[in-house]
Chains A and B, each alone.
Chain A
Amino acid sequence: MQVMTNASDFVEETTADGVTALRFSGDLSIASIGNVPERLSEYPGGIQQLNLADVGYIDTVGAWLIHRTARNMGAEIVGGDDEATRLIAAVSSVDPAADVRPDPPNPVLRVLNEIGEATTLAFTTLAGLVGFFGSIMLALFNLLRHPGQIRWNAVIQRFDVVGVRALGIVGLMSFLIGLVIAQQGAVQLRQFGAEVFTVNLVGRLTLRELGVLMTAIMVAGRSGSAFAAQIGTMRLTEEIDAMRTIGVSPVEALVLPRFLAAIIMLPLLGFYASVVAIIGGGLLSWVELDIPPATFFSRIREVVPITDVYVGLAKAPVFGAIIAICGCYQGMQVKGSAEDVGRRTTAAVVQAIFLVIVLDAFFAVFFTWIGWS
């Protein structure tokens, strides 16, 4: 059974005393109004009266339509019952001169504006990150003078979340990366009869670069985003403000444990990742190139200088610091709505990965320059 509504309609008529009028019929409601608004707005002028005598049910949508049409055509409304008169009076007492959306700005200005805003944002973010690093350092020195205040529970808990729980995924990723490096290396080097150098490739690349870099990217995605989201949500629920009021410094209570966990866990995870990648590479060398594991590992010890391990381990805490600073800084900047938490979380991950890769390039140049190549 269909819904019982009478579609609204209107016809033009001339009354006995020569007045041109539109006579409406049916229900004037949101459900039955159909294309009447369009037809009315295209209707040529010359109407003096809107007759509602035949109208059944009317709601505010119908009342608004009649009010608007009467206003635009300069016509008077006749024949409405009490209900219609009341509703038309109600809607005509409001003046919706407003817009549905804010005014769109001039496109040229908008582009310029956006470039300007993006530039300022980049610089203020950079300044903010440096400032935030400063406040972390201050808090750290403060704690070093009063070591009793260090929240070991929080720090250890972060160790677990950032480090221990990442072992599985970081291990799997590194193992596969080791496999892929060895496999691709073997295919390419075989063309020169130099498959045996696959060992050099796997050993040096993973210990020096990829182990730590890939770990940093994984930790930025896993923990950097979590830092931003956790702290950001705490901002929204005013937990951070509550902490300040009670006299607890949010930097000491929330940021420092995450910062310490990241700078301590990243070298450990990075070294672990390198070792797992070497195991992956060794496995592939055994299967593909018939290099037995014992030979593989003794070759690794011969061809990988110890400085490669130092290079990897020296970079890792810096990467960890960057991930923690970006995550916590963006979290602390959250204001307004839950939407902002999402935006800040994305920004934390993107900035952390970007800065990690930029710094990695600097490190590469620096370590070559000091002769650790």
Chain B
Amino acid sequence: MIGETPLAYDPQFEGPIICVKGLRNSFGDFVVHEDLDLDVRKGEILGVVGGSGTGKSVLMRSIIGLQKPDEGDVKVFGESLLGRSDAETVEIRKRWGVLFQGGALFSTLTVAENVMVPIREFYPKMDREFRREVAKYKVCLSGLPPDAAPKYPSELSGGMKKRAGIARALALDPELLFLDEPTAGLDPIGAAAFDSLTRELQQTLGLTVFLITHDLDTLHAICDRVAVLADRKVIAVGTIDELLAMDHPWIQEYFNGPRGRMAAPKQG
């Protein structure tokens, strides 16, 4: 069958994990992205920042295939995903995990069952007992207490829901993790704990992380590079120090505003 063979992938692929070129997205007359380019390197945590309505989530949705861009090309693991069927991209999609803003846990399933959903979907032949064990250690790996596994999402606090969402995103041992505002709505202690969890998982599991955030502390604490979205494109990518050296008004306002200065690590 033409067009239905899954794309093969190269586990040793070393180029940019995500490569977005000339992306254009619009809703009716409203253009969200125009000629947007972005590369995400292997093994880095890339923070994506931008004012409300600059299309951070739309960018993520374009990369993972939930939003069909008007123009441009999106390559993940070196494979172009646009215009390909679900059956073709299945091997690529297995290699990423997504944490949605609200957690997006299935409310009729327990936390452990939520983690088992992607495993059952992609590897239906896996031994049932083993699948349960995998789900359980993923729950613990995300920093949840073991007794959270048989609970329903409605019984969890906001921070625990996020962790359960991470557990599900990690279900297939992905190499690439998308996080959409993971610390939004968490208290500073919970947010800091979540940041260190992200960093820890990224180091132990060798993940590449695409992290959308508004949280300046998160940017300073764990992001290797930061991409700034403004004027319908990525206006700058670099470490925070590199960005600070630029003289774009929005970037200066963002990092040097009252909140930006508070979040910056104190200089010796």
Residues A59 and B204 in contact, CB atoms below 8 Å apart: no
Residues on B with beta carbons closer than 8 Å to the beta carbon of A96: 133, 136-137, 139-140, 146, 149
Using an 8 Å CB-CB cutoff, how does the interface string of B110-129 with A read, 1 for contact, 0 for none? 10110010010001011101
Q: Please, how many angstroms separate the alpha-carbon atoms of A2 and B135 in the complex?
A: 27
Interface size on B, residues (CB 8 A): 45
Residues B116 and A100 in contact, CB atoms below 8 Å apart: yes
The verdict on A57 contacting chain B, using a C-beta distance below 8 Å, is yes
Known: A64-B134, A94-B141, A100-B136. A3 touches B204 (CB 8 A): no
Known: A2-B8, A31-B94, A100-B113. A337 touches B173 (CB 8 A): no
Residues A64 and B133 in contact, CB atoms below 8 Å apart: yes
The verdict on B9 contacting chain A, using a C-beta distance below 8 Å, is yes
- Interface stretch of the complex, out of A32-40, A215-223, A280-288: A32-40
Residues on A with beta carbons closer than 8 Å to the beta carbon of B150: 98-103
- Min CB–CB distance B126 → chain A (angstroms): 7
Residues on B with beta carbons closer than 8 Å to the beta carbon of A41: 127, 129-130
Residues on A with beta carbons closer than 8 Å to the beta carbon of B157: none
The verdict on A97 contacting chain B, using a C-beta distance below 8 Å, is yes
Name the one of A3, A38, A59, A97 contacting B146, with C-beta atoms under 8 angstroms.
Answer: A97
Q: Please, how many angstroms separate the alpha-carbon atoms of A172 and B8 in the complex?
A: 59
Residues on A with beta carbons closer than 8 Å to the beta carbon of B132: 100
B6 nearest in chain A by CB position: A3
Residues on B with beta carbons closer than 8 Å to the beta carbon of A91: 137, 141
The verdict on B268 contacting chain A, using a C-beta distance below 8 Å, is no
Residues on A with beta carbons closer than 8 Å to the beta carbon of B196: none
Residues on A with beta carbons closer than 8 Å to the beta carbon of B80: none
Known: A4-B11, A35-B127, A64-B134. A98 touches B91 (CB 8 A): no
Residues on B with beta carbons closer than 8 Å to the beta carbon of A101: 110, 112-113, 150
The verdict on B235 contacting chain A, using a C-beta distance below 8 Å, is no
Residues A60 and B110 in contact, CB atoms below 8 Å apart: no
CB within 8 Å of B: which of A21-71?
29-31, 33-35, 37-38, 41, 57, 59-61, 64-65, 68
**A-B CB contact pairs (8 Å), 19 listed:** A3-B8, A4-B8, A4-B9, A4-B10, A4-B11, A30-B126, A37-B127, A37-B129, A37-B130, A41-B127, A60-B170, A64-B133, A96-B136, A96-B137, A98-B146, A98-B148, A100-B113, A101-B150, A337-B153
Other than the given A1-B8, A30-B134, 19 more pairs (CB < 8 A) read A3-B9, A4-B9, A34-B125, A35-B127, A60-B170, A68-B133, A86-B204, A94-B140, A96-B146, A99-B150, A100-B113, A100-B132, A100-B149, A101-B110, A101-B113, A103-B150, A336-B154, A337-B154, A339-B107
Using a CB–CB cutoff of 8 Å, the interface residues on chain A facing chain B are 1-4, 29-31, 33-35, 37-38, 41, 57, 59-61, 64-65, 68, 83, 86-87, 90-91, 94-103, 336-339
